[in-house]
A and B are shown apart, each in its own frame.
Chain A
Amino acid sequence: MRQALVQTLSELAAVDGRIILLTADLGYSILEPFAKKFPDRFLNVGVAEQNMLGVATGLAEAGFIPFVYSIAPFASLRPYEFIRNGPILHHLPVRILGIGGGFDYEFSGPSHYSLEDIGVMRIQPGLRVIVPADHQQARSALRATWDQPGPTYYRFGKDDQSIVPGLTGQFELGKAQFVRDGKDIALVAMGSIALEAAKAAEDLQKQGVSVSLVIVASVNPPPGKDLAEHLSHFRQVVTVEEHYTVGGLGSLVAETTADHGLGCKVRRLGVAQPLDGTSGRRAVFNEKYGISAPAIVRACLEVLQ
């Protein structure tokens, strides 16, 4: 989604001079088109994420819309307190771009994996949290939210090719996207892993299981009402996220069902154990932690038994 991000941001920056892009020395070979087009509005602040968020706060106070770019854990966890006391407390339009959710940074290993960013971000009521499922949705989500008041955290996956079937780039703040109808079980997915959920739904259909697929990209504000209405028709709900099972999408869905007094069971798929220090292909890790398409199929069949 990085190409979609840079392209969309360049289009927006061409019509709004308030947009300024800061990076903490990451995005080599990705951000150059923006930097070339807007040399006065691109700033590599060096490897200093805390300062980047502080500087962005100062810029936003003066009327700019700063976008700050780094790999997701460095954009979210390292400067977390600066985000909390800066753009959130001051209610300023700083855009935090966390690149690469889950295991996107493959062989870079655990320091680069992002499995708790959504959890720590969505507990802040004053922060929008947006997690597109594919590059088309990334584009429309950015277009729908870039000039909103107050701060936003975006988690953009690295995949710039795949498309979630049926999503067609739809996005609406505070709403979920219902991309597949079904009656036996509801799958709810967030981020790039939605592609695996979509594959799983297809496989299950072949096995005679009718699966509904819901995409949650607007994590905060959450799609409370329409999600609850949809889930009220199901006995079994399975959530899928490339994130720890605590604090992210699974928690959001569990909270929604509890808040609305729904009778469904919620099975949360995600990473539920500490990382073991190994690194490798995203597909291998998704299988290992039970969020690959085959693993999702297995989990769905299990809960339906």
Chain B
Amino acid sequence: MTNPQVNPSMTGQAIRRIILEQSKRANVGHIGCCLSIADLISSLYGRILNIPAHDDPQRDRFILGKGQAALALYSALHLKGLISKEELNTFCGNESLLGVHPEHRQRGIDFSTGSLGQGLSMAAGAALAARLQGSSRRIFALLSDAECNEGSVWEAAMFSAHHKLSNLIAFIDLNGQQAFGYTKDVMDLSPLRARWEAFGWDAHDIDGHDGDAIVKAVKGLKGEKPHILVARTTFGKGVSFMENKIKWHYWPMSDEEYRRALAEIEIPS
């Protein structure tokens, strides 16, 4: 069941442009990990999530486990009309609800996150609630690969598989990087799909930058198990000098870098 109301302005490139504009305006980092999920987020908010209204109890829920990439989520909520331009321009401003990590008091945000490893447990609870209430709503979560270093992720993985929470669909942003280096050097997660399968999940590898493939993968999900889509992504995707560079986990852009980055993001008309 895919949202029939496809939003054509909700593209990965549109989200990337907002990420760059707002990161520059606020002079903050976490740019690379926002860029890597731009296509996942645009697919979710443009073509997958069923959200008739932001406060509809039967809407699909979305939980951003990797809360540090909230700017990508804010960008989608802006394109969806839930965050105004004025609100967006408060990102990382004093007393704004739009901080680096998402806060549920903000319209359109279902759960606050920021501490890695907590999102999937809340998603599992939300999925169990939907089942107990006889609702067909689905619960989507997006975790980072390094977030799987947290033991609590695997507590939630065991729980979800044991209770056959097939209404839970999680994505892993497999960009291969974490704060201090490459995941294979810090804490090797491979083979990640096999690990999730071993924990009883219906696991698939997908290309996290191919919107059609993402939507198709979600449409094709079936069976009793919770689902995980291990999405291969490129850290910093779309800005050549940021791609796969550790520096862009935390670093903000200089004026020159901003100019060069923006020039690479074309918005199809």
Asked if A and B are interacting partners, one says yes
**Which chain A residues have a beta carbon within 8 Å of chain B's beta carbons?**
20, 40, 43, 45-46, 48, 50-51, 53-64, 66, 81-82, 85-86, 89-90
Count residues of chain B with CB under 8 A from any CB of chain A. Answer: 31
Whole-angstrom distance from the CB of B199 to the nearest CB of chain A? 13
A60 to B132, CA, bound (A): 12
Contact between B118 and A56, CB atoms less than 8 A apart: no
A50 touches B155 (CB 8 A): yes
Measured in the bound complex, the distance between the Cα atoms of B104 and A62 in whole Å is: 14
Contact A58 B124 (CB under 8 A): yes
Q: Which residues of A contact B126 (CB under 8 A)?
A: 58-59, 61-62
CB-CB < 8 A to B118: which residues of A?
50, 54, 81-82, 85-86
B207 lies within 8 A of chain A by Cβ: no
B125 & A59 in contact (Cβ 8 Å cutoff): yes
CB pair B129 A51 closer than 8 Å: no
Structural contact, B57 and A51, CB atoms closer than 8 A: no
**Contact B125–A54 (Cβ < 8 Å):** yes
For B128, list chain A residues within 8 Å (CB).
43, 55, 58-59
Residue from the list B114, B129, B156, B159 in contact with A61, Cβ < 8 A: B129
Query: What are 6 sample pairs from A and B whose C-beta atoms fall under 8 A apart?
Result: A46-B158, A50-B118, A51-B152, A54-B121, A55-B124, A58-B121
A58 near B155 with CB under 8 A, answer no
Question: Is there contact, CB below 8 Å, between A51 and B124?
Answer: yes
Contact digits for B91-120, partner A, Cβ 8 Å, 1 yes 0 no: 000000000000010000011111101101
1/0 per residue, CB under 8 A from A, across B120-163: the answer is 11111111111011000001000000000001100110110010
Interchain CB contact under 8 A, B125 and A57: yes
* Neighbouring A residues of B152 by C-beta, 8 Å: 48, 50-51, 54, 82
In whole angstroms, how far apart are the Cα atoms of A53 and B130 in the complex?
17
Q: Mark B53-71, 1 if CB is under 8 A from A, else 0.
A: 0000100000000000000
Q: Given A45-B159, A54-B125, A57-B125 in contact, is the A62-B133 Cβ separation under 8 Å?
A: yes
B residues with CB within 8 A of A: 57, 104, 110-115, 117-118, 120-130, 132-133, 139, 151-152, 155-156, 158-159, 162
Contact A48 B158 (CB under 8 A): yes
Q: Is the interface of A mostly helix, strand, loop or mixed?
A: helix
Q: How far does the alpha carbon of A82 sit from the alpha carbon of B112 in the complex, in Å?
A: 11
Contacts of B123 in A (CB 8 A): 58
| A55 touching B112 in the complex, CB below 8 Å, given contacts A46-B159, A85-B118, A86-B118 | no
**Given A57-B122, A58-B121, A58-B125, CB of A48 within 8 Å of CB of B159:** yes
Q: Chain A contacts of B112 at CB under 8 A?
A: 85, 89-90
Chain B residues in 8 Å Cβ range of A55: 121-122, 124-125, 128, 156, 159
Q: How far is the CB of B227 from chain A (nearest CB, A)?
A: 17
B57 / chain A contacts, CB cutoff of 8 Å: 62-63
Of B124, B129, B132, which contacts A40 at CB under 8 A? B132
Would B133 and A54 count as touching, CB distance under 8 A? no
A62 near B129 with CB under 8 A, answer: yes
- Nearest 8 interchain pairs by C-beta: A54-B121, A58-B125, A62-B129, A55-B125, A51-B155, A58-B126, A48-B155, A50-B152
A64→B132 contact, CB < 8 A: yes
A230 to B253: give the CA distance in the assembly, Å. 61
Please, which residues of chain A bring their CB within 8 A of the CB of B159? 45-46, 48, 51, 55
Closest A residue to B63 by beta carbon equals A58
